[in-house]
């Protein structure tokens, strides 16, 4: 069975874009693949979160993953920092990672521009840590978005380099993974771009948003002054609202508003009201589950411990073999 792996940095709440773009597929993949899903809290240190935030952020993502349907019995769901083996493999990979190639990575250049006061070595070696995450479990497939393609390419480089250096076909070369249908791109509410892309909180709808917050955000979404002639092409902000409608509403509802748009009788207020209510219907059970999990210390720690144990097993085996290959021998 193929091994699939994905990590998420615990830097914010999950929004509809995370759900429809990734998590929904993870829930399906856990039925058919050997899955590792983890919370990349080592990686989050590259932006220096406060110690008092770190644990809570990790806990929140864990609760959200569980609430969205990831099953710790089926998938291996764990916290990166529970596996010191990852840090060890990261150290080994760094010995064969070169400054020039690391400096050329776009996400590094972007981060360096965004936080010029904190261009730390962790930021530079972010791709080696990501490679360690992936190859420690000998993952075959990594579901990644466009923004992570170059990091994944670096993982392939490091895996190949290790195999070549030690003349052993040890690590599989991880490939990008598109599960089933093409990934659905969920737009934000500010008229352009992906949900969660811009910093403003009102651009994204979080799985944990209360109904009144959802209504407020949707009612404030950007629109235009309306179609002036039949079958007019929709401007991006309107297209975006329809994209959202398509993922949460019934097909006849979408058809109704499409028809209204094409005949110039649409009232955006009606569309938004409908959209908000359908988002609420969709997110409500997940939100309730998140809240109940956040209040249930035992359930969360049980899931985390179980994940750590399963993940440890495969990480420990890899590290034992890697040490052997590199030439470390116990006395
Ligand atoms: N870099 C990824 C992101 O920001 C998170 C991540 C860390 C990851 N390690 C990974 C993703 C390993 C896939 C595989 O989205």
| Segments making up each domain of the chain, as ranges | 3-185+297-326, 197-291
pTM for the full predicted model:
0.94
Contact 92, 136 (CB under 8 A): no
- Overall residue count recorded for the chain in this entry: 331
pLDDT for position 4: 97
Please choose from 4, 133, 152 the residue to mutate so as to test ligand 1's pocket, defined by most ligand atoms within 8 A of CB. Answer: 133
**Which band of pLDDT confidence, cut at 50, 70 and 90, is reported for residue 202?**
confident
Q: Whose CA is nearest to atom 15 of ligand 1?
A: 8
Given a cut of 80, whether residue 182 has pLDDT beyond it is: no
Q: How far apart are CA 72 and CA 39, in angstroms?
A: 13
Predicted confidence at residue 184, as pLDDT, reads 74
DSSP state of 202: G
**Known catalytic residues?**
111, 194, 197
* Sign, Cα dihedral of 301, 307, 312, 313: positive
Supply the mean pLDDT for the chain. 95
Is 3-185+297-326's fold the same as 197-291's?
no
Residue 291: alpha-carbon gap to chain centroid: 20
Residue 185: its pLDDT value, please? 82
CATH class assigned to 197-291: mainly alpha
pLDDT digits (tens, 9 = 90+) for 60-112: 999 999 999 999 999 999 999 999 999 999 999 999 999 999 999 999 999 99
Q: Which of 37, 11, 5, 3 is nearest to 206 (CA)?
A: 11
Atom from ligand 1 closest to the CA of residue 151: 1
Q: Please, are residues 155 and 168 in contact by the beta-carbon 8 Å criterion?
A: no
Protein fold of 3-185+297-326: Rossmann fold (3.40.50)
Ligand 1: residues with CB < 6 A are: 5-9, 40, 43, 130, 133-134, 142, 144, 148, 151
The pLDDT of residue 276: 98
The protein residue with its alpha carbon nearest to ligand 1, atom 10, reads 7
Q: Is the pLDDT of residue 183 over 70?
A: no
């Amino acid at each position: 069975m193929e091994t699939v792996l994905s990590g998420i940095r615990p830097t914010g709440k999950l929004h509809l874009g995370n759900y429809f773009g990734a998590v929904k597929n993870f829930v399906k993949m856990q039925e058919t693949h050997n899955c590792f899903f983890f919370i990349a809290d080592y990686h989050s240190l590259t932006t220096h979160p406060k110690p008092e935030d770190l644990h809570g952020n990790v806990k929140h993502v864990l609760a959200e993953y569980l609430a969205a349907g990831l099953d710790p019995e089926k998938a291996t769901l764990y916290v990166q920092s529970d596996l010191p083996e990852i840090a060890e493999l990261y150290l080994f990979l760094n010995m064969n990672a070169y400054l020039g190639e690391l400096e050329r990575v776009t996400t590094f250049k972007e981060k360096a521009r965004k936080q010029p006061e904190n261009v730390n070595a962790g930021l530079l070696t972010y791709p080696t840590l990501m490679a360690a995450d992936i190859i420690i479990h000998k993952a075959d497939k990594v579901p990644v978005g466009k923004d992570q393609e170059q990091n994944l390419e670096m993982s392939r480089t490091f895996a190949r380099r290790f195999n070549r250096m030690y003349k052993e076909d040890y690590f599989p070369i991880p490939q990008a993974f598109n599960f089933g249908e093409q990934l659905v791109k969920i737009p934000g509410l500010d008229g352009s771009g992906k949900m969660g892309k811009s910093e403003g909180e009102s651009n994204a709808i979080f799985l944990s948003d209360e109904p009144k917050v959802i209504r407020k955000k949707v009612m404030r979404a950007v629109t235009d002054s309306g179609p002036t002639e039949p079958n007019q092409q929709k401007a991006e902000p309107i297209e975006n609202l329809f994209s959202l409608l398509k993922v949460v509403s019934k097909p006849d509802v979408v058809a109704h508003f499409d028809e209204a748009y094409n005949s110039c009788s649409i009232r955006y207020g009606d569309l938004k009201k409908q959209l908000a209510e359908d988002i609420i219907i969709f997110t409500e059970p997940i939100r309730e589950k998140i809240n109940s999990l956040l209040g249930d210390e035992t359930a969360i720690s049980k899931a985390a411990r179980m994940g750590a144990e399963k993940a440890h097993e495969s990480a420990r085996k890899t590290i034992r073999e890697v040490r052997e290959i590199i030439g470390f021998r116990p006395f």
